[in-house]
Amino acid sequence: MTDPTIQWEAERLAALHGYEILDTPPDGAFDRVTALAARYFQVPVAIVSLVDEDRIWFKSRQGLEANQIPRSPGLCASVILSDSAYVVCNALEDPRTLANPLVAGELGVRFYAAAPLITHDGYRLGTMNIIDFKPREFDAEGERTLHEFAGLVMDQMEVRLAARKTIATLTRFFQGTEQPEDLKRLITVCAWSRKIRVDDEWISFESFLVDKLGLSVSHGIAPETAEQLHADFDRRKQSPSQ
């Protein structure tokens, strides 16, 4: 499969590299997402992939040993051409994938579904994808759910990006290189409400980050929340009427 030309590729790659996630160690938060996706869709393989300049790198994977593949003939390069889900129900009958080495070769992919990982400003960085080695159907509800899994992945990426920016900003403040007058003192935090005192006014931590430090705030899913999702999902499977 020829890797399609992507408009704004330089900007997309710059956005991807800005997250500083490529070649980072395994992360339990991402691994919980792929594990939950594999269980929810009942597939042997679930992957969080990021499409770099000449490779597709896997931030998390279930059921696959390789941690990256060449960008061509990788299927993920096609996914980032659109905001929509990319679904191949039977790769041996789909003209888009019939000659793809991942289909015709030893791996033997038969079913592939992926939702793009989209940043807040519209760049598609990679995919949340699931794979099976036998054909299967995939309906609109499945596509919507796969998009939600992709959203969870982006939440994790945004949280980590925001944390790095916060650390960098606070480091500059406490080193004295960028300290506004109202921050050149101890910061008072209410342990009960998690609010911060600034000029005799108590504001939320998010407001402090946005208004005082000029940072953007995103939201993610904490490990204990992900574990609760696992438990709730298992209970629903065991008691579908509840």
Map tokens 């629903």 to a residue.
236
User: Residues 128, 51: contact at Cβ < 8 Å?
Assistant: no
- Is 107 inside a domain boundary? yes
Whether 16 has a pLDDT exceeding 80, the answer reads yes
Mean pLDDT of the chain: 85
- Is 196 inside a domain boundary? no
For residues 37 and 146, what is the distance between their CA atoms, to the nearest angstrom?
8
Confidence label for 178 from pLDDT (cuts 50, 70 and 90): low
pLDDT, position 4: 46
pLDDT, position 232: 74
The CATH number of whichever domain residue 40 belongs to comes to: 3.30.450.40
More confident residue, 103 or 182: 103
pLDDT, position 140: 97
For residues 155 and 170, what is the distance between their CA atoms, to the nearest angstrom?
22
pLDDT tens digits, one per residue of 22-39: 999 999 999 999 999 999
pLDDT tens digits, one per residue of 201-242: 888 877 777 776 676 766 677 777 777 777 777 777 776 555
- Is 87 inside a domain boundary? yes
pLDDT, position 6: 60
For residues 140 and 146, what is the distance between their CA atoms, to the nearest angstrom?
10
pLDDT, position 177: 53
More confident residue, 216 or 177: 216
Whether 109 has a pLDDT exceeding 80, the answer reads yes
Q: Which helix (H) or strand (E) holds 114?
A: strand 111-118
Confidence label for 173 from pLDDT (cuts 50, 70 and 90): low
pLDDT tens digits, one per residue of 55-96: 999 999 999 999 999 998 778 888 999 999 999 999 999 998
Q: Which helix (H) or strand (E) holds 127?
A: strand 124-132
Phi, psi for 86 (deg, rounded to 5): -115, 115
- In the numeric block, which tokens belong to residue 41? 């869709």
Confidence label for 176 from pLDDT (cuts 50, 70 and 90): low
pLDDT tens digits, one per residue of 37-51: 999 999 999 999 999
- Is 208 inside a domain boundary? no
- Is 88 inside a domain boundary? yes
pLDDT, position 3: 41
pTM above the 0.85 mark?
Answer: no
Whether 174 has a pLDDT exceeding 80, the answer reads no
To 5 degrees, how large is the angle CA 227–CA 58–CA 26?
50
Whether 193 has a pLDDT exceeding 70, the answer reads no
- Is 56 inside a domain boundary? yes
Q: Look at the chain and report how many structural domains it folds into.
A: 1
pLDDT, position 2: 36
Please, what's the largest Cα pairwise distance for the chain?
68
- In the numeric block, which tokens belong to residue 115? 């939702």
pLDDT, position 184: 47
Domain that holds residue 112: 9-160
In the chain, DSSP finds a helix count (H) and a strand count (E) of 7, 9
Q: Which of 35, 48, 42 is nearest to 116 (CA)?
A: 48
For residues 113 and 91, what is the distance between their CA atoms, to the nearest angstrom?
11
User: Residues 143, 7: contact at Cβ < 8 Å?
Assistant: no
